Chains A and B, each alone.
Chain A
Amino acid sequence: MTITQVGSPSRGRRHSVALRAGALLVGMHVFVGLLTLVWLPYDPNAFTGGRLEGASLQHMVGTDRLGRDLFTQLMIGSRIALQVGTGAVAVGAFIGVTLGILAAFASKWLDDALAATLDILIAFPTLLIAMLVVAASDQASLWSAILALGIALSAIVARLTRILAKRVLVMDYITAARTSGSSWPKIVFIHVLPNIWPTLSVNFALQFGLAVIAEASLSYLGLGAPPPNASWGRILQEAQGTVYTAPLGAIAPGIALVSLAIGVNLLADGLRERVDDRLGDR
């Protein structure tokens, strides 16, 4: 039997396993990241054992080729990944939402021009844009990575914001606000942003995942945070030469990266279900 509803979107009501699993994975990384600020098992740059040791009680995932504790480095990697993810999403959100709202309000030709530009930008891989931005800044640092990824993500955010805002702007409650004498900035903050926020926030979670992976790639290419920042990408890159003798050095950062990326995506999924459900969505 088909039920065709003309008028209300479907509303699933699954118990959100995704939300919980995602929160658990992300929560774990957040905990570890915060922990590094106050406690580390070893000095991350000290030679604490033999080179390329396997897993042992002292070194849970062994040591690298300079004899540093890998687990300590992975923990720091969690913090860096979270820092870069949060920073990049914040930068991308700020630029993207501002641009998107302006485009939604712009006159037709300006809006069309902006939309076309965004489409072209989005056609380029996020990583490529980020690499160009890093290359343009004179020195690679944590901040240049954040800025680069933020700028790269902003095009996607801008495009989404533009579409969502346009949907809201045709509603009568916007006209009602205008005829009540509300100014445009007020309308944006009181009506437009609250209505597009739930969908945007789901997207931000996805962007976060993208940023984390892109940061690892940048670091892998030597364009990310320079040493002594132990980014997962750099650990991976350093372990590359010894991948046959000490595979753990390459597998461990990979697992850390994937677990955070999957966690964030699950969280986004769970959030989306919540958003669809809330307000009976009518």
Chain B
Amino acid sequence: MLLEMDRVSVRAGEKILVSDLSMTLDRGERVGLIGESGSGKSLTALAATGLLPSGLTASGSVLLGGQQVVGVPDQVLDRVRGTGAAIVFQEPLSALDPLMTVGMQIAEPLARRARRNGAPITGTRLKEAVLELIDDVALPDERRIARAYPHELSGGQRQRVAIAMALACEPDLLIADEPTTALDVTTQAEILILIDRLVQERQMALLFISHDLPVVANTVERVMVLRLGEAVETGTVSEVFNRPQHDYTKSLVAAAKRFDAAMEGRT
């Protein structure tokens, strides 16, 4: 098992933000996490990797690649090296250094990964690899993008740069927190195809967080529905979306249909 979360709770002081959540994720598996704004999706992702901000505490057990994460200090997690998990966070801008070109920022994890694989790359080869990766995430004009600073890119372009940085790590587990919110449907489709390809080629595991039900339906096999920090329903995509059991899931599916209907001009 790549990721095993067992009755994980997240608290801010007395307040319980995520309660008793359990899930497992193995190589090549894709799981979606859905739920309304503030239901605890991002905190679950942070808890899974031991990256909760100070002020929040996790309890329960999280085994990530066999390593216990809960209650283990950062230094230990940093020291235990090997294959890893990469996270694409919800806010693309916070991932990026505003004073460093995008190309340099992608080059860093790329070079690190290559070193760890025992085949370090530098100079022109590194530059080429960066451009290739930029092209992979459906960014146009890769030379200009590589030279640009984050604020010189559009919102969707920044988001794709963040995805490129995560993919540069060649992670075993990719946690993607709303990775396509800033993308139009055509670009989103390209990114989803890329992720799909990587899951299959590299047997990567995917934890995909999104509020966009159609996107989730097309990307993952299993979903977990979160509400107020609790998992109210889990199952395969078709079970959950075609025959939602919980009232909350029903309302989510109904809302998704309302927009589908508006598109058909049947408002």
Kindly list chain B residues whose C-beta atoms are within 8 Å of the C-beta of A5: 49, 51, 86-87, 89
> A277 in the interface, Cβ–Cβ < 8 Å?
yes
> B50 in the interface, Cβ–Cβ < 8 Å?
yes
A interface size (C-beta, 8 A) = 23
A108 to chain B, nearest CB (A): 13
What's the Cα separation between A5 and B90 when bound, in Å? 11
Contact A166 B64 (CB under 8 A): no
> B74 in the interface, Cβ–Cβ < 8 Å?
yes
> A20 in the interface, Cβ–Cβ < 8 Å?
no
Contacts known (A1-B77, A13-B74, A166-B99); A6 close to B86, Cβ less than 8 A? yes
B264 to chain A, nearest CB (A): 35
Contact B74 A167 (CB under 8 A): no
Kindly list chain B residues whose C-beta atoms are within 8 Å of the C-beta of A280: 53-56
Within 8 Å by CB of B49, from A3, A167, A279, lies A3
Contacts known (A1-B77, A163-B99, A167-B98); A6 close to B165, Cβ less than 8 A? yes
Contact A2 B81 (CB under 8 A): yes
Kindly list chain B residues whose C-beta atoms are within 8 Å of the C-beta of A166: 98-99
What's the Cα separation between A98 and B210 when bound, in Å? 45
What's the Cα separation between A280 and B89 when bound, in Å? 14
Contact B89 A13 (CB under 8 A): no
Query: For residue B162, which residue of chain A has the nearest CB?
Result: A6
B interface size (C-beta, 8 A) = 44
> B67 in the interface, Cβ–Cβ < 8 Å?
yes
> B82 in the interface, Cβ–Cβ < 8 Å?
yes
Contacts known (A11-B54, A280-B54); A4 close to B78, Cβ less than 8 A? no
What's the Cα separation between A279 and B54 when bound, in Å? 8
Kindly list chain A residues whose C-beta atoms are within 8 Å of the C-beta of B80: 1
> A38 in the interface, Cβ–Cβ < 8 Å?
no
Contact A3 B50 (CB under 8 A): yes
Kindly list chain A residues whose C-beta atoms are within 8 Å of the C-beta of B109: 4
Query: For residue B89, which residue of chain A has the nearest CB?
Result: A7
Contact A1 B53 (CB under 8 A): no
Contact A282 B53 (CB under 8 A): yes
Contacts known (A6-B87, A7-B90, A166-B99); A1 close to B64, Cβ less than 8 A? yes
Query: For residue B82, which residue of chain A has the nearest CB?
Result: A1
Contact A1 B98 (CB under 8 A): no
What's the Cα separation between A142 and B228 when bound, in Å? 63
Kindly list chain B residues whose C-beta atoms are within 8 Å of the C-beta of A6: 86-89, 95, 162, 165-166
> B85 in the interface, Cβ–Cβ < 8 Å?
yes
Contacts known (A1-B67, A282-B53); A7 close to B91, Cβ less than 8 A? yes
> A185 in the interface, Cβ–Cβ < 8 Å?
no
> B124 in the interface, Cβ–Cβ < 8 Å?
no
> B267 in the interface, Cβ–Cβ < 8 Å?
no
Kindly list chain B residues whose C-beta atoms are within 8 Å of the C-beta of A7: 87-92, 94-95, 162, 177
Kindly list chain A residues whose C-beta atoms are within 8 Å of the C-beta of B197: none
> B224 in the interface, Cβ–Cβ < 8 Å?
no
> A8 in the interface, Cβ–Cβ < 8 Å?
yes
> A281 in the interface, Cβ–Cβ < 8 Å?
yes
Query: For residue A278, which residue of chain B has the nearest CB?
Result: B54
* B186-223 CB contacts (< 8 Å) to partner A: none
B66 to chain A, nearest CB (A): 8
Contact A4 B89 (CB under 8 A): no
Contact A2 B54 (CB under 8 A): no
What's the Cα separation between A279 and B65 when bound, in Å? 29
What's the Cα separation between A25 and B154 when bound, in Å? 50
Contact flags B79-117 to A (C-beta < 8 A → 1, else 0) = 011111111111110110011000000000100000000
What's the Cα separation between A14 and B99 when bound, in Å? 29
Contact B74 A11 (CB under 8 A): yes
> B151 in the interface, Cβ–Cβ < 8 Å?
yes
Which residues of A does B touch, CB under 8 Å? 1-8, 10-14, 163, 166-167, 170, 277-282
17 of the cross-chain contacts (CB-CB < 8 Å) are A1-B64, A1-B85, A2-B85, A2-B169, A4-B84, A4-B85, A5-B51, A5-B89, A6-B162, A7-B162, A8-B89, A12-B73, A13-B54, A14-B73, A277-B54, A278-B54, A282-B53
Q: A3-B50, A3-B85 are in contact. List 11 more A-B contacts (CB 8 A).
A: A1-B81, A1-B84, A2-B82, A3-B84, A4-B109, A4-B171, A5-B86, A6-B95, A6-B162, A8-B89, A13-B74
Which residues of B does A touch, CB under 8 Å? 46, 49-51, 53-56, 64-67, 73-75, 77-78, 80-92, 94-95, 98-99, 109, 149-151, 162, 165-166, 169, 171, 177
6 interchain residue pairs of minimum CB distance: A7-B89, A280-B53, A2-B84, A7-B95, A170-B151, A4-B86
